Structure 1
């Protein structure tokens, strides 16, 4: 089993799950993101010789094809992941996210291997067609069905920002390779995934970023008014979905699924910050800036298609998951101190 981008946040958690079940895993990564070597060291210490590693950049088509040749399936998680970075350097964003995905698909096509691709809710754009109204601490859709169930896969693609374009085009290439070549591929359009092994920066991994900032007494910048709503999904539930898709790939090939916490795990930025303040006992210093390009006032994934097709659901509630992540961050990302005891919701 090959995990392209396997030293990253989701990739390392997925690798750990597979390895723990006795499945050999090949991690393919260029290790360009600072800190990911810590995830690889953790995997190597825990699983030893069952873990294989190849240092390859997905933009290097020949080296990638050679590295992937022994695999029987590919989880493709490698990407340039930040909207802000894509705006600053759209050429590299295109090269990594679209050309890199094309290289993965071509290697898989030659070998006839399944590909499970990590896409994003950003393929739906800023969702201007969904009218929203203000509630106490959040935006909520005017449409009652969307308010109850979230945004489903039929909403229509509407790329916005270079990141949305590159990931959206890659998403469509992955689906087309099932149509054009019969390759067993599937796409998971992820909402906000969080959990252990996440680095958490202002540009990507905002749940961990909020927690790290609060625990370190650093100010947090909110872009917009903080009433934006997202459904957050614990990484253990995301991993279960990825594995379920692969197990059913012959029946599901050529399909895209929204993957998020769903309405049960929908939370506004303001509500999450209030929960973190109460959980940590810290006064959080907030700064405000203008809303960022392409931001969605409301995105909650309608996961009913995934639930039915995968026999899957999100099990970790967002409060429980945030407590879990806070404890992990204190132990592994911050200096050990008396606060390393697990938080209780």
Structure 2
């Protein structure tokens, strides 16, 4: 299969590209390298350094004629979306619309779209399933949710199939610490530099942490499954910051220095997914235990720092 991955040199995208190559797929990557790295890409990838808002994107899609587009490229930083909502909307909404027009014109069969837990806002109940009300608390949540409506309309009007994958807190190797699951990469960076970790509030706030390779497998599964579906991609397990720290200490074999700070205004206290629909529809399940994922991630960053 020929697949185009936007943001394919980035954290999640590069893992998706690796899986596609292992399958023997032809892979095209579009990435502006604002957070991604070309070094993440293997030589057999056809790479275009380009922003998804660029009008030339239509030419790239028309020339390469992918069957499916996996859309990972995005502005991922919540504070940036609050500080500069125009940039956030331009990338996440207008950039996605630019891509959808390119797909429509080139006869692309399907788009797999990376959405986010941020669309839900403060949970009304737990675990969060796909029927949960959408009430984003930031421009980022709004800009990730808006393209979901465009995808539904493009499917109805133009026959462009889609699957929306709403990610929980993704972590793992190659992560940009600014992402939603960035707390783990931040913790690791602090540990390896011998610096204290800051915990906001009592540390009992919970999240659903899913390893990046599990997310990549969900995207690959969506190439042929889940048409017209919105699916939560998480582990279905909640982990508190205090539990995360205890796991870290177990993995590294030492106590961590903790500094406590007041709760941050607007922070969601508890959030984790009901992932049963994704497991059924995609014939997929998360396979990486949190302690195993932490060990893999720690080893990766430790090797990078000691080079």
Q: CA deviation at 1:74?
A: 0.6
Task: Give the corresponding residue for 1:262.
Answer: 236
Task: Give the corresponding residue for 1:27.
Answer: 29
From the superposition, tell whether residues 203 and 183 of structure 1 become closer, same or farther in structure 2 (CA, over 3 Å): closer
Contact 2:5/2:71 (<8 A) preserved: yes
In 2, the alpha carbon distance for the partners of 1:77 and 1:202 equals 13
Secondary structure at the residue paired with 1:283? coil
Task: Give the corresponding residue for 1:14.
Answer: 16
In 2, the alpha carbon distance for the partners of 1:275 and 1:184 equals 41
Task: Give the corresponding residue for 1:139.
Answer: none
Task: Give the corresponding residue for 1:52.
Answer: 46
* Higher helix residue share: 1
1:61-72 equivalences in 2 (<5 Å): 62-69=55-62, 70=64, 71-72=66-67
- Greater displacement, 174-183 / 300-309: 174-183
Task: Give the corresponding residue for 1:253.
Answer: 227
Task: Give the corresponding residue for 1:118.
Answer: 114
1:146-225 equivalences in 2 (<5 Å): 146=126, 150-201=127-178, 205-225=182-202
Secondary structure at the residue paired with 1:188? strand
Correspondence for 1:322 among 283, 289, 294: 294
Q: CA deviation at 1:200?
A: 2.2
Q: TM-score, normalised by structure 2?
A: 0.93
In 2, the alpha carbon distance for the partners of 1:202 and 1:260 equals 16
In 2, the alpha carbon distance for the partners of 1:201 and 1:120 equals 15
Aligned: 1:3 with 2:31: no
Q: CA deviation at 1:59?
A: 1.2
Consecutive unaligned residues in structure 2, runs of 5 or more: none
Contact 1:201/1:208 (<8 A) preserved: no
Aligned: 1:291 with 2:264: yes
In 2, the alpha carbon distance for the partners of 1:87 and 1:223 equals 20
Q: TM-score, normalised by structure 1?
A: 0.83
In 2, the alpha carbon distance for the partners of 1:308 and 1:5 equals 27
Number of residue equivalences: 301
Runs of 4+ in 1 over 6 A off after TM superposition: none
**Structural RMSD (CA):** 1.7
Secondary structure at the residue paired with 1:253? coil
Consecutive unaligned residues in structure 1, runs of 5 or more: 131-145, 337-345
CA displacement, residues 234-256 of structure 1 (integer Å, 9 cap, x when unaligned): 111111111111122xxx32210
Aligned: 1:308 with 2:302: no
